[in-house]
Structure 1
Amino acid sequence: MEQSGVVFGTSGARGLADNMSDMVCFAYTMGYLQHLATLGEFSPHTMVAVAGDLRPSTPRIMGACIAAIKYMGGKPVFCGFVPSPTLCHYAFSLRIPSLMVTGSHIPADRNGIKFNRAQGEFLKDDELAMRDQNIELPEEMFNVNGKLIKPVAFPPVTNIIPSFIARYRDFFGADALSGLCLGVYQHSAVGRDVLTDIVEALGGEAIPLGRSKNFVAVDTEAVRPEDVSLANQWAAQGKFDAILTTDGDSDRPLLADRHGNWLRGDILGILAARFLQAASVTTPISSNTALEKSEFARHTQRTRIGSPFVVAEAAWRKRAAR
């Protein structure tokens, strides 16, 4: 892993796309499945769901992961190009492993793989255990450059989007956004069409904006000057009640008010937690201190940056409260 330049970061394994050769991604997937086998979450014939974002390198990396799943005796379920939360919603409901090929918000020349347990997030302890796995690569499957010699046959796409949209409609109601016109900044987010469909399923009018053929690295925390300018231009039209978008794999939201002022993900987290009447909130140290100042939650906890740290702390708090 260290030699490849592909390493675990805040969420999943990431690196330059050129360094994520077929062999490297195959090896990572083998280590992942071997680790799950020690936990009783993977064995021959186990379904493993696979999806990816819209980066140019994603299809090739997905193919390497699918090849490794087949080699390990698993049954790959190809979910197509869908948001990370859509993949997780499907896989968690079936209690099967899943992996998402995505670099999230980082530039197009990089990519990554987000691994999931059968019932939840892949935590830092899982990453350590995965790195300790001893794997025996079938070197005869690769050429000298680490490329798979034979093309990978992808399974037919399993459409997992309808149930994901229904989740929002069933929770909020079919008229939750009735009478509102929302601009959907699509850029190259993998959930750009799903986001439009969700708005419409909730009774709102969705107007697609800024769709891009090339990958755009939109960060929901460090908003680019270009995106500030775009939001101001769209808001000046005077027809949008809000403008919304996501990062590359559509697991982090970004929302602008009718004046084009972007509300970063950490502010949206506060609003969501208040809506849910959360008694306890766990968030990274980088989040806005307005959380504590708002004083709506009885308990707040700060963690290191990265969703595995947040999930682990929140789970510990939940157990401690019992």
Structure 2
Amino acid sequence: MNKQVKVLSEELGVAFGTSGVRGLVKDLTPELCFAFVASFLQGVCSGSQRVAVGLDLRPSSPEIAKACIAAIEKSGAEAVYCGVIPTPALAFYAMQHQVPAVMITGSHIPFDRNGIKFYRPDGEISKADEAAIMDGFVTLPDALPDTLLPDVNTDAMTTFEDRYKALFPSNMLAGKKVGVYEHSSVARDVIKRLLAHFGAQVVSLERTDTFVPIDTEAVSREDVAKGLAWSQEHQLDAIISTDGDGDRPLIANEKGEWLRGDILGVLCADYLKASHVAAPVNVNTVLELRGELQGAECKTLRTKIGSPYVIAGMETLLEQMPDARLVGYEANGGFLVGSDFEVNGQTLHALPTRDSVLPALILLAMAHEKDCPISELTKDFPARHTASDRIKGIPTETSRQLINDIKNSRTKQAELLSVIGTQGEELEVVSMDETDGLRMTLNSGDIIHLRPSGNAPELRCYVEASSENEADNMLRKVLKNY
């Protein structure tokens, strides 16, 4: 049966989100997964002889992997099955061996959902590639083979681990105690091995075989409380964790306070002495303010939210400046290396996809080199604080209409600002940025940013203020209003 992927996906309600295909497990049928991979190999990576495949720890991932491997083998290629592996490890292996890759993961979304991420030999696919996959026509077999998954090729994990071992002093964590919030992160074991390699005493925290959807951008109150309690109980110097597929870090300082991902991104860019940074429109304005205060000449480019847009932004910057020392990062903490860097006399090769391991190690290396606790690394940063969360169960079209009403009505803007303002304070919107959703800068200097989620029926809200308290209060009031 010959069918267009777009038609099949629309029938089942599955589509590309901000990064990869996402949908309910019940809708990610073997036929649909086969069709997506077959179209990827036909329209984006035709002629491939080998394709790397990895997966996360979701209970649904192995069956999806079987359908993907069936499509690879039907195309005439060999599936290099890398097993349970962090997304950046699979992507790095694919780039090093110049082969495409398919990662079965739903990242941080709930366990009743899953997804597929696609990588060309040179990195993550673009939005144009996504369109090509959706437009493709594929021939579906009458029945997919019910086979066991192949034996695991461990080269990808070894290559990824070796990428970091030579970058930093082997004793940089000697005398340090680092907790690893393991939950169901696919990166938990490689992180523990690396921390031990650098001399840390590793404390395992809450490992589970049940999938836990950790959102590194909207940290739950429960995880906030856990970080504080673990730090006090174990006297930790840091806590390291990631989302489900290991491409977004979650890092706490010695007090157990989780760092915002966009602050982590600035620290990593500083450590690598980046000359150019691509980052989404929702990240903290410390990105620009820090450079202005220091007189640093770091060019920044703001993009739409999602790693494909950050990658496109990095490509634009490289076209303008081929010798740029280029990085990208997102508010969720994912850090992308767009060019080769020299770190401690070693070459850090480009990896233009989100990574959780590098930013964690950079943060620990900075604290080691400065001989200070992690909390002091940001003491000279401008007083800008961000907070974010989401309202679940709001259809995308409802979110878009709500945002459009606010954009076009001063009355609606006044209604929103009256919710967050204090007595005697006359707030108004002084500028709007529609790069992605609606980002409103107020006369107070505070920022409110509303945006429909690209992965689920949710309304995302991001705020920025001059103190953590103000940001948290603003966020709570805005969300309560809807």
- Counterpart position of 1:171: 167
- Counterpart position of 2:364: none
| Counterpart Cα distance in 2 of 1:215 and 1:270 | 30
Amino acid in structure 2 at the alignment position of 1:91: A
| Counterpart Cα distance in 1 of 2:203 and 2:234 | 13
Q: Percent identity?
A: 45
Q: Secondary structure at the match of 1:157?
A: coil
Q: After superposition, what is the alpha-carbon deviation per residue over 1:258-280, rounded to whole angstroms, capped at 9, x for unaligned?
A: 11110022211111111001111
- Counterpart position of 2:375: none
| Counterpart Cα distance in 1 of 2:169 and 2:131 | 42
- Equivalent residue in structure 1 for 2:27, among 19, 24, 28: 19
Amino acid in structure 2 at the alignment position of 1:43: G
Q: Secondary structure at the match of 2:279?
A: strand
- Equivalent residue in structure 2 for 1:245, among 241, 245, 248: 241
Any gaps of 5 or more consecutive residues in structure 1? 142-147
The answer to which structure, 1 or 2, has the higher relative contact order (CA under 8 A, 6+ apart) is 1
Q: Please give the residue correspondences for 1:244-283 in structure 2 after superposition, counting only pairs within 5 Å.
A: 244-283=240-279
Q: After superposition, what is the alpha-carbon deviation per residue over 1:4-55, rounded to whole angstroms, capped at 9, x for unaligned?
A: 211000000000011001001000111111113xxxx4426x1100000011
Mapped contact 1:64–1:152 kept (Cα < 8 A): no
- Equivalent residue in structure 2 for 1:51, among 44, 51, 54: 54
- Equivalent residue in structure 1 for 2:63, among 60, 63, 69: 60
- Equivalent residue in structure 2 for 1:7, among 15, 21, 24: 15
- Counterpart position of 1:156: 151
| Counterpart Cα distance in 1 of 2:227 and 2:88 | 25
Structure 2 residue 119 is matched with structure 1 residue 116:
yes
Identify the structure with the greater strand proportion.
2
Q: How big is the shift at 1:297?
A: 5.2
Q: Secondary structure at the match of 1:260?
A: coil
Q: Please give the residue correspondences for 1:121-160 in structure 2 after superposition, counting only pairs within 5 Å.
A: 121-138=124-141, 140-141=142-143, 148=144, 150-159=145-154, 160=156
Q: How big is the shift at 1:238?
A: 4.8
Mapped contact 1:165–1:201 kept (Cα < 8 A): no
| Counterpart Cα distance in 2 of 1:297 and 1:265 | 22
Structure 2 residue 41 is matched with structure 1 residue 33:
yes
| Counterpart Cα distance in 2 of 1:137 and 1:250 | 32
Number of matched pairs? 309
- Counterpart position of 2:413: none
86-95 or 129-138, which moves further after superposition?
Answer: 129-138
- Counterpart position of 2:197: 201
Amino acid in structure 2 at the alignment position of 1:135: V
Q: Please give the residue correspondences for 1:213-232 in structure 2 after superposition, counting only pairs within 5 Å.
A: 213-232=209-228
| Counterpart Cα distance in 1 of 2:104 and 2:261 | 22
| Counterpart Cα distance in 2 of 1:137 and 1:282 | 40
- Counterpart position of 1:316: 316
Mapped contact 1:247–1:253 kept (Cα < 8 A): yes
- Equivalent residue in structure 2 for 1:286, among 278, 282, 288: 282
Q: How big is the shift at 1:250?
A: 0.4
Amino acid in structure 2 at the alignment position of 1:152: T
Q: Secondary structure at the match of 1:11?
A: coil
Which protein shows a greater Rg?
Answer: 2
Q: After superposition, what is the alpha-carbon deviation per residue over 1:239-261, rounded to whole angstroms, capped at 9, x for unaligned?
A: 21000100010001111011111
112-121 or 196-205, which moves further after superposition?
Answer: 196-205
Q: Secondary structure at the match of 2:166?
A: helix
Amino acid in structure 1 at the alignment position of 2:152: V
| Counterpart Cα distance in 2 of 1:297 and 1:239 | 39
163-172 or 220-229, which moves further after superposition?
Answer: 163-172
